[in-house]
Chains A and B, each alone.
Chain A
Amino acid sequence: MATTTLAPRATVYRQRSWVYEWLTTTDHKKIGALYITTAFLFFLLGGVFALLIRTELAVPGVQLIDPETYNQLFTIHGTTMIFLFVMPMMTGLANYIVPLQVGAADMAFPRINALSYWMVPLGGLLLFSGYAVGGAANAGWTGYAPLSAQGGSGLDLWLMSLVLLGFSSVLGAINFIATIFKMRAPGMTLMRMPLFVWNTLVTSVLLLFAVPVLTAGLMMLFIDRNYGGGFFDPALGGNPVLWQHVFWFFGHPEVYILILPAFGIVTEILPVFSRKPLFGYKAFVFATASIGALGFSVWAHHMFTTGAVFLPFFSFFTFLIAVPTGIKFFNWLATMWRGKLRFDTPMLFALGFISLFLIGGLDGAFLAVVPFDFHVQDTYWVVSHLHYVLVAGSVFGIFAGLYYWFPKMTGRMLDEGLGKFQWLLLFVGTNLAFFPQHLLGLDGMIRRIVDYADNPGWTALNFTSTVGAFLIGASVLPFMWNVFITLRHPRNAPDDPWDGNTLEWATTSPPPVYNFDALPPVRSERPLFDLKHGAVAAHGVALPAARGETHDETRADAPEEVLGEPVEGHRPQVEAGEVTPEVSEEAPDATPHEVRPKKEADE
């Protein structure tokens, strides 16, 4: 019997190209980065569309854009900003941060995670390919039937794009729910989870219940359009109002899907920059959960003027949402009350969020007043309201989160000066762009029109709004420049630059592929705070701790006993002053991606 001895193969460590690496990655951090980058590109695209819209509306008359192009512009602007910017951006941030905050090595289903991501650029491609087939979707982002049953194949592409993006969201939601329920660090009970994790959990549950309804509606519309179905066609016994029910049963929870993660980000940032624990942790959790639950009982407040809904029910529940939202506002204020506030860029964005989202919340309560809604439904009041929620809310929250976690993701601190400049432009721009729209709505200016009457005062307000929109557009430039120059600089971020409370600051910046060498014990919702200021947490005594700007200096200055029990396996952090590029470069925890250039240099 012949025996063949296989010569042991030489183990060749094949260096994969970075393209291959990023295309095939299942690392939640890389997928998070992909999500964030993709979403940001779509943000730029949707922003350019918005600027085109505002340019046309600067003065009355049709100057620049013909009506058909205009209808496509605002349809694609809305769809892009909601489904291709805010949702993937929030998913990206959660993808990067949630496993770190719960102390997991990755998401529960890494490959499904990659699948969820790759559906997003494909969905975007489908949406924009409408322009290649004779015109993109033009029925508004709400796609009201039977108008959406007319129109060309751009609308079919819009439908399929939303189906794909919906699948991506549902898979992502399942992944987050599994990760959060099954992969938390020892000791992290549900009531010790960071609020960002709580908000991601509630958002995921909302997605899981709402998106399939939308998908069903989209398929019905697709059948109506292509196979002679009659779901929404009254000539065939269908009912056009049914589409609105289906759409808004998804669409209103969707609003909370877009805003709850921003609540979570702000709720993470305020305690850290106030050096106080969250005021009323449980109240925050229950407020978040009840906002999510109430979100499913208010959909028809988008349909008050259809004459086909029971008005008082939806009015009452819409009013009711003000209660948990109010709890959040007052608890945010109480968190900062008697704190020691630092105004770094993340904190500025969080404060901007609170001060401006308040306007979006208050003018939303007006819409619960049904007779008043009869007046301002489908006017610029609603445009103003939804942009105060999505720009002043979601966008401020997103930038707060990006500035807050950028050091963790890249090991580099974004420039504070540029960050504050961006904040100022965005803050002024948001108010200039959207506040005048309240007045236009009260005066009866209709939304989704390419041209408006030359009524007294309308031109001035519209022109102001256009100027504001361009300021918002300009505010993105310092951010891009900031990211660009920061990424060219060597690493300068300590592991815990903001004196953070949660587990993501217990690993290196950026974290290794496997996230943690060892986890600190979790005995409260602020495990890292306990580790650093254990005596305070244990005895309620304030001890001399922070003197300077960063936590590292704190640790250098603080007496040994203040730091609490050293935890086994927890790597001591880099001492202040030693945080030089050299140290960071040699840190053993750099991700393989970062190490690679060195290997290539060795060859």
Chain B
Amino acid sequence: MPLVGLREFVVRLIASTPTSTRWMALGFLLPLIALVSACAGQPQTAGSDTPPGLFPVPPVTEQGQLTFDFYPVVFWIAVGVFILVEGLLIWIVLRYRRQPSDTELPTQTHGHNVLEIIWTLIPAIIVTGLFVFTVNTLAQVERTSDSTVSPDLIVDVTGFQWQWTFEYPLQELSFTGAGTDGPVMALPINETVRIRLHAEDTDVIHSFYVPQFLYKKDVVPGRVNEFDVVVRDPGTYAGQCAEFCGLLHANMRFTVEAMTRADFDAWVTEQQQAEPTAAPPPPDATTVALTSVGIVEGFDPTEISIPADKPWVVELTNTDTAAPHDFSVRGGNPDGSDWQGDPDAQAGGSATYQPPPLPAGTYEFYCSLHPNMIGTLQVGQ
């Protein structure tokens, strides 16, 4: 009976194993068990949010699919090497441990040229093969430099501390994120989209990353990087800055919405018509002039005062050439939530805001893109 034999073997193996080896086995097994149970306990959700596994997140672009298809080759080679080396190691540890009865030195082997040449050549052949595949895949993923490819849509992305601006130059649309809600990039599916990445000279390096594209590219000041992408599956995909860029790096998020061409055209039309038309301020409104100097320098002045329960207007002049800013008031909404100014004053530009009238008290105003830029708002008696 093989089952009994196996059980006996295991029992014997454990009994004959020195304590130290048992420690080692325990050390191998515990993380494995913990890992398996951790994976098993993950909630399965519908949609594109597949839980993490040993394979990359399922790609939604043609380029990402190429990378995704190549991954298993590397993965299974690595698993093979892993099993070979760990298996040999465990075998050696079990088989060649020193017994109390061992009094003799083992045979003193100093080397074996043929063996050593073999295990030099085999890895060399494997990595050369992998390299050839890598270069092939890379050439397909990075076809931007190929001038024969003309994109169906161009999106200019500007990264700044700590948000994004997405511009559609031909459609004359521009969206800038605020706070932690980044802008939305709508893309038509099955069309070549060229994404051009810019950063102001005075800004820092960012990286445009959408996990489900299986792709990222750095946004480097003084340099325009670009890449082509063909989104295959419609859906909403989260993106984020991947290169550490300072205080609120973690908040530099955005969203990609992939849709059919018809939906995309409808979206473009809708956005073009939805140009914000601000209502003219009431004639008795108090006007406050404010300048945003920079991320580090903050606002000038840092304290402003207005009368209580009266309409008021803030004219924000943005002298910062590096980043857009806005004017927001903590607890500035009637329901006590933060009032966020919209739209942003672009770098070197200006914007006008009409927050709701406020009851008397002391408030904090800030820039929703750079919450470290703060000032005091005195609302008079």
Q: Which residues of A pack against B, CB within 8 Å?
A: 67-68, 71, 138-140, 144, 146-147, 150, 233-235, 238-241, 274-283, 305-308, 311-312, 315-316, 319-320, 322-323, 326-327, 329-331, 333-334, 336-344, 348, 351-352, 354-355, 358-359, 362-363, 365-366, 368-372, 374-379, 420, 423-424, 427-428, 431-432, 435-436, 438-440, 442-444, 446-453, 455-458, 460-461, 464, 533, 536-537, 540, 542-547
Contacts and interface: CB of A to CB of B under 8 A. Distances in A.
Contacts of A344: 20
Contacts of B45: 456
Contacts of A333: 85, 88-89, 92
A456 B138 contact: no
Contacts of A338: 96, 106-107, 109
B377 interface: no
Interface stretch (B23-31, B323-331, B336-344): B23-31
A427 B85 contact: no
Interface string B228-267: 0000000000101111111111110100000000000000
Nearest to A330: B119
Interface of B: 18, 20-21, 23-24, 26-28, 30-31, 34-35, 38, 41-45, 49-57, 64, 66-67, 70-71, 74-75, 78, 81-82, 85-86, 88-89, 92-93, 96-99, 102-112, 115-116, 119-120, 123-124, 127-128, 130-131, 134-135, 137-138, 141-142, 201-205, 207, 209, 211-212, 214-218, 220-223, 225, 238, 240-251, 253, 296, 372
17 contacts: A146-B221, A240-B205, A316-B131, A323-B127, A331-B116, A338-B109, A344-B20, A348-B23, A355-B85, A368-B130, A377-B216, A378-B216, A427-B31, A442-B54, A448-B249, A453-B238, A536-B108
Given A366-B78, A375-B56, A540-B108, A464 B220 contact: no
Nearest to B31: A431
A330 B348 CA distance: 62
Nearest to A439: B52
B116 A275 contact: no
A554 B31 CA distance: 39
A320 to B, nearest CB: 7
A432 B38 CA distance: 10
B105 A370 contact: no
Nearest to A533: B105
A454 B53 CA distance: 16
Given A279-B111, A536-B108, A442 B141 contact: no
A336 B70 contact: no
Contact of A355 (B30, B89, B115, B130): B89
Contacts of B104: 542-546
B246 A150 contact: yes
Given A378-B243, A435-B35, A372 B70 contact: yes
A447 to B, nearest CB: 8
Given A139-B244, A366-B75, A439-B52, 11 more contacts: A71-B249, A306-B225, A315-B138, A355-B28, A377-B207, A428-B31, A431-B35, A444-B209, A448-B249, A464-B35, A547-B103
Given A378-B242, A450-B250, A545-B103, A234 B201 contact: yes
Instruction: State the 7 A-B residue pairs at the shortest beta-carbon distance, nearest first.
Output: A444-B211, A234-B222, A431-B31, A457-B51, A343-B20, A449-B250, A443-B52
Given A144-B244, A449-B250, A458-B52, A315 B89 contact: no
A294 B107 CA distance: 35
| Centre residue among A150, A342, A436, A533 by max chain B CB count within 10 A | A150
| Centre residue among B85, B88, B137 by max chain A CB count within 10 A | B85
A334 B108 CA distance: 12
Given A283-B111, A283-B116, A146 B53 contact: no
Contacts of A348: 20, 23-24
B202 A235 contact: yes
Contacts of A307: 217-218, 220, 223, 225
Contacts of A305: 207, 216-218, 242
Nearest to B47: A456
A50 to B, nearest CB: 17
B116 A340 contact: no
A371 B119 CA distance: 28
| Centre residue among B53, B115, B214, B249 by max chain A CB count within 10 A | B249
B27 A424 contact: yes
Contacts of A235: 201-202, 222
B1 to A, nearest CB: 33
B130 A457 contact: no
A139 B246 CA distance: 7
B54 A439 contact: yes
